[in-house]
Structure 1
Amino acid sequence: MTHTDDYKQRSYGEIPVGTGFKPGIVVVDFQKGFTEAQYPLGGAPLVMRALENTARLLKVARAMGVPVANCNTAYMNEREMPYWKITAVRETFRRDHPSIDFDPRIYDPDYDLTVCKKAPSIFFGTDVADFFTKERVDTVIVTGCNTSGCIRATSIDSFSYRYRTLVPEDCVGDIEEQPHRDNLRDLGRRYVDVVDLQYVLDYLDRWHKGAVAPAAAHAN
C-alpha cells in the first residue's frame, strides 16, 4: 500500500471544500524578484506559467468586480527581517531594491488592495482578512509563488480564517516541480480544493451571473 492510499484509507481528502457566495483573490509575491530572471530567485518556469495564468484570471476578475489583494515582500533592512535562511531574500528583498516592485502583468494599483507582507502568509500582520470581511468574501482563490512556501502558508491561514479556499494549480508556481506537486497534494488532502484556471473562471462566471450557491455543509 502506498502512502497516498494510506491517507485515502484514513479519509483524507474525502470532503470537497466547494465554493461559496462571493470570491476574492489573493496574489502572493509576483514581484520582479521572482518574475525577472536577472534576479537570483527570478524566472523559474513554473512561476512564469503561474504569472501568465494569473494575469488571465485577474483580467476577468477585475472586470467582474471581484476583490483582489496583491502583496510583495520587502523589509527596511536585515534587522527587520525574520531569520530567513535564503541569502537572496536577505540581500534583495529590501525597500530600496528594484526586485520588490510588483510585476506589472498582475498589478493594478487603482484596483487592488496592496500590502507589503513581512512573513510567508499574505494574511499575517496585514489587513487582507478585514478587507475580505468588508467585501463579504467567503471563498478565497490563492495565486502566486512559491507553492512550497508562501502559497502553502497563505492557504493554511485562509483555511484558518474559515474561508473556502481554492488553489488553481496552474496559477501557482515554485522553483522545482516536485515541491510544487508535493505541497499541493498535501494541501488538497487537508485544507483546500486544488483546481485549475478553467475551474475558477467557470466559478466566476456563475457568480457574476448570480447562479452560485454555497456547497452543502457537512456535519462533523
Structure 2
Amino acid sequence: MFRVDTETDEIYDRAGFGRPVRRGVRPAVLVVDFSYGFTDPQYPTGADMTAAVLATRRLLDAARAAGAPVLYTTIAFDGGQRAALPWLQKAPGLAALRPGTRLVEIDDRVRPADDDTVLVKTGASAFFGTPLPGILAGLRVDTLIVTGATTSGCVRASVVDAVQFGYPVLVPRDCVADRAQGPHEANLFDIGEKYADVVALDDVLDHLRSLPNATADPTTDPAEVPA
C-alpha cells in the first residue's frame, strides 16, 4: 500500500475522503487493457504484470462461478487515429497498438470466454466512445469491479468514469498493475481516497461467494431468484 505521512492522512480524513462504498448484489468485472502490449515486457509499452494477471484469473473464475458478467477492453488505433489523436502526440509509443497485431490481443492467461464482451477503445477510459454504459445498464449491474492496466492511466480513468456513471467501484489491489511502482502506489492511494474501495483480492472473492443469486442468470431480477 502507498504510505502517506500523518499530516496527509489527517487532511484527507478531515475532508471526508476514504469512506467505504456500498456493495450491490449484481456486480460485473471490468478487465482494462490486459493485452500483450501491456502485459508482455518485450514490447516498449509493456511490463511484467504476471502477478496481477494471475490474480485477475482467480477473480474471473470466481466471478463466472457467481454468474457475474465479465467485460474486457483493449486499445487499438487505425491509421487515421494514429495521425490525428492528440493522445498519441503526447504518448507516441501507444501508436504501436494496431488492429490485428499481437499487442492488442487479450493476454491468454485471462482470455475471454465465448460469452464475454470485448470492447476496443481509443481513449483512456473504458467508458469513452464505447457502448459500455449501455451494456452495464442492460445487465442491471449495480457494482463494478475494476482490474487491469495501467493503474495510473486507463484503470484510473475507467474508475473515475464509473463513479460518474453512478457505479460503486471495487479495485482489488492485487489485480491492477503499472509500469512503475511509484505511479502505481500513488494512484491506488488517490483512487481509494476519492473514487473506489481499494481492497484485497480475498475480500472481493468473499463478496462474490456471498451473493444471494450467485448462480443466477445476470439478467434475472434478484427478487425473482428463489431464496
Alignment-derived partner of residue 135 in structure 1: 139
Alignment check: 8 A CA contact 1:120 1:149 kept: yes
- Paired with 2:32 and 2:55, the residues of 1 have a C-alpha distance of 14
CA RMSD of aligned residues (A): 1.6
Alignment check: 8 A CA contact 1:67 1:132 kept: no
Out of 190, 193, 209, the position equivalent to 1:189 is 193
Alignment check: 8 A CA contact 1:33 1:41 kept: yes
Q: Secondary structure at the match of 1:89?
A: helix
Letter in 2 for 1:10: A
- Paired with 2:87 and 2:60, the residues of 1 have a C-alpha distance of 33
C-alpha displacement at 1:42, in angstroms? 1.9
Q: Secondary structure at the match of 1:105?
A: helix
Letter in 2 for 1:104: D
Letter in 1 for 2:14: Q
C-alpha displacement at 1:82, in angstroms? 3.8
2:38 is the alignment partner of 1:34: yes
How do residues 58-77 of structure 1 correspond to structure 2 at under 5 angstroms? 58-77=60-79
Letter in 2 for 1:24: A
Q: Secondary structure at the match of 1:83?
A: helix
C-alpha displacement at 1:80, in angstroms? 5.0
2:168 is the alignment partner of 1:170: no
Letter in 2 for 1:196: A
> 1:29-50 CA deviation, whole Å, 9 max, x = no partner?
0001111122112233xx3211
TM-score (norm 1): 0.88
Report the identity percentage.
Answer: 39
C-alpha displacement at 1:4, in angstroms? 2.5
> 1:36-92 CA deviation, whole Å, 9 max, x = no partner?
122112233xx32111100111112123221111010001121253432223212x1
- Paired with 1:198 and 1:82, the residues of 2 have a C-alpha distance of 39
Q: Where in structure 2 are there 5+ consecutive unaligned residues?
A: 1-5, 215-227
How do residues 8-157 of structure 1 correspond to structure 2 at under 5 angstroms? 8-13=13-18, 15-44=19-48, 47-77=49-79, 78-84=82-88, 85-90=90-95, 92-157=96-161
C-alpha displacement at 1:9, in angstroms? 2.0
* Matched length: 206
Letter in 1 for 2:163: F
Alignment check: 8 A CA contact 2:74 2:121 kept: yes
Letter in 1 for 2:40: E
Letter in 1 for 2:201: L
* 76-85 or 62-71: bigger deviation: 76-85
Cα separation, partners in 2 of 1:109 and 1:21, compared to 1, 3 Å:
closer
Alignment check: 8 A CA contact 1:18 1:193 kept: no
TM-score (norm 2): 0.85
Q: Secondary structure at the match of 1:26?
A: strand
Q: Where in structure 1 are there 5+ consecutive unaligned residues?
A: 211-220
